[in-house]
Structure 1
Amino acid sequence: MPGIEALTLQLQTGDHHQRSEAALALGRSGDPAAIPPLIAALCSDDDLNVIEDVTWALTRFGTTPIPGLFSAHASADSHGRHNIVHVLGKIGDASAAPILIDSLRESDRRVRVKAVYVLGQIGILDATPALIERLADTDEDVRWTAFETITLPEMRAGPALIDALRSADEVIRENAARALGALGYEAAVTALIAALDDDSFDVRCAILEALAQMSQSSAARAALGGASAHPDAPTRAYASALVKRLG
């Protein structure tokens, strides 16, 4: 097999087939000297197949590439940062948490989506408050991915979502209620009932839907029935419709 220097040159100058072959060979080499050129290619190459082969090669080194990935992240463009987050997800080590959480505030939506997904993939519980903030992201894909991630049972987000019912951001309050319903988190019933006086109709509807999803709880059923007498007519109507649907 060619040496690290020859493979590095091939990774930098070959066509996409040659670059892929070089990446795979560097990964198989087991030589830590292969890590810097692989990280450089991760940040600069624009061929998806090459990037996937570089990703595979880096993961062959376990957690050893993480410091180099952190260093590269500081100077990489959004393309490179996206790929770095992707590799950190494949490595799957919780030490990547600081970079991943910082990536949630990236201007590039692709990086934010990837960071949200990877935080759930690794299961970094400390990221829960930052993930809840993404429930109000300006990008729909980021919001959806954050919702899907925060409602993974292993993220144990229930208590943080209860706190989010008091957020100053209406969208966060609404999506927090929906997430609690999706989780079926019955410990939230009291907090959901208390939040039924929210100023936002959309938030109140989300709360009612969450209570309906927890209808096995007698307190949730009673709250739905009580909401049929809510001072706001549309809220009363929606609560009555949910009660009727539950039968």
Structure 2
Amino acid sequence: MTVPKEDTKTTRALQGLESNSSSVRLRAALAVGTTPDPGFIGKLIERCAIEPEFHVREMLTWALTRHAASMTVPLLLDEVRSEHAQARSQALHTLSKIGDRQAWPAITRALLSDADDEVARSAWRAAVVLVPEGEEHELAVVLVTQLGRGERETQRSLSRALIALGEVMLPALGAAKADLDPLVRAHAIATERLWRDPDAGFGFAIEEAKRTVALGGAGQEER
């Protein structure tokens, strides 16, 4: 019996996604995204949860965005509740790329404060994309509770998320500038400086903010 060419192509792509070679996995994900087929969605999401290579994960996400949101979003929402951090993180990242605001209820406070920095960062990015109009202030209030956490890259991600919300985040940020924790105060000041001067660079802004806090100027508004 002759196997139809289409079935052979599908089998080859599915096998490629499981290859030990990252370049083969990358090409397989590209092929799947180039010719979307609902039959691939489950495998793409499954692979996202375990794929070790960043560039391959990005291609898997791209391939998922090439499929109908009505088919991908429900499965991604299941992944957001996974016990595995990478599954949660990559599902959130993919939801942010799809941009379907029906996914907004899944962006819980627990995810926005997830103990895993990568999950939290993905949740922040997804939140600012998916937040419904009029709820930006409430989101900012939650996001500022994460000021001061993690290493510099995590802090930079949070600052970017807050700035992406626009001017509505300034009252919450202003309150954080009076926080008892000097790390929170410095991060809040740095974020405000970046808001006012996007070209300043986060590294410069955070070091300047730390000096401001050390000199006792944490609660003062920038002029």
2:102 aligned residue (95, 101, 104):
95
Q: From the CA coordinates, give the structure whose radius of gyration is larger.
A: 1
Residue correspondence of structure 1 range 72-221 to structure 2 within 5 A: 72-75=79-82, 77-97=84-104, 98-99=106-107, 101-120=109-128, 122=129, 124=131, 125=136, 126-152=138-164, 154=166, 156-164=168-176, 171-173=183-185, 175-176=187-188, 179-180=191-192, 183=195, 205-208=217-220, 210-211=221-222, 213=223
Structure 2 vs 1, CA of residues 123 and 11 (structure 1 numbering), >3 Å: closer, same or farther?
Answer: closer
1:11 aligned residue (2, 10, 17):
17
Partners in 2 of 1:140 and 1:22 — Cα distance? 34
1:28 partner amino acid: T
TM-score w.r.t. structure 2 length? Answer: 0.69
Match of 1:36 in 2: 42
Q: Which has the higher helix share?
A: 1
Structure 2 vs 1, CA of residues 36 and 123 (structure 1 numbering), >3 Å: closer, same or farther?
Answer: closer
Give the CA deviation at 1:39. Answer: 0.3
Give the CA deviation at 1:115. Answer: 2.8
- Spell out, residue by residue over 1:18-65, the C-alpha distance to the aligned partner (whole angstroms, 9 max, x if none): 322332232233322221111011112223332222111001125231
- Identity within the alignment, %: 24
Structure 2 vs 1, CA of residues 8 and 101 (structure 1 numbering), >3 Å: closer, same or farther?
Answer: farther
Structure 2 vs 1, CA of residues 14 and 204 (structure 1 numbering), >3 Å: closer, same or farther?
Answer: closer
Partners in 2 of 1:179 and 1:99 — Cα distance? 23
Partners in 2 of 1:176 and 1:112 — Cα distance? 18
The answer (yes or no) to whether the contact 1:66–1:88 under 8 Å persists in 2 is: yes
Match of 2:73 in 1: 66
The answer (yes or no) to whether the contact 2:177–2:219 under 8 Å persists in 1 is: no
TM-score w.r.t. structure 1 length? Answer: 0.63
Unaligned runs of 5+ in 1: 185-200, 214-247
Structure 2 vs 1, CA of residues 91 and 113 (structure 1 numbering), >3 Å: closer, same or farther?
Answer: same
Local SS of the residue matching 1:151 = helix
Partners in 1 of 2:69 and 2:57 — Cα distance? 18
Match of 1:189 in 2: none
Structure 2 vs 1, CA of residues 59 and 15 (structure 1 numbering), >3 Å: closer, same or farther?
Answer: same
Unaligned runs of 5+ in 2: 197-212
Local SS of the residue matching 2:69 = coil
